[in-house]
Amino acid sequence: MIIKSFSIGEARRKFSRLVEIARGGTPITITHRGEKVARLIGIAGKKGKGLPDLTAFRASLNSGRKDHKTAIEDLRRAERA
């Protein structure tokens, strides 16, 4: 495994790129005046996964329900009765 090393100044200027490199599996070492002070690594199991598709779930939430306007009108009628 190749570990890339960057000074704090370089890391500040290239932070977004370094995060992408670490996310891809290459650890990044941050140095201060030549001394290793930190390491940036990707989180295992999170690579490229993204969010789940919730289309079916969202559709199921409104199945068989009235729209909001109708529901409010029904509640108002019930209060008056």
- pLDDT single digits (tens) 16-27: 999 999 988 899
Tally of domains within the chain: 1
Q: What's residue 39's pLDDT?
A: 94
Domain around 15: 4-80
The pLDDT, as a whole number, for residue 30 is 96
| pLDDT above 90 (res 51) | no
CATH number, domain of 59, equals 3.40.1620.10
| pLDDT tens figures, 2-42 | 778 999 999 999 999 999 999 888 999 999 999 999 999 98
Q: Is the pTM of this model over 0.85?
A: no
In sequence order, which ranges of the chain are alpha helices (DSSP H)? 8-13, 15-23, 55-61, 68-80
**What is the DSSP pairing of strand 4-7 with strand 28-32?**
parallel
pLDDT at position 17, please?
94
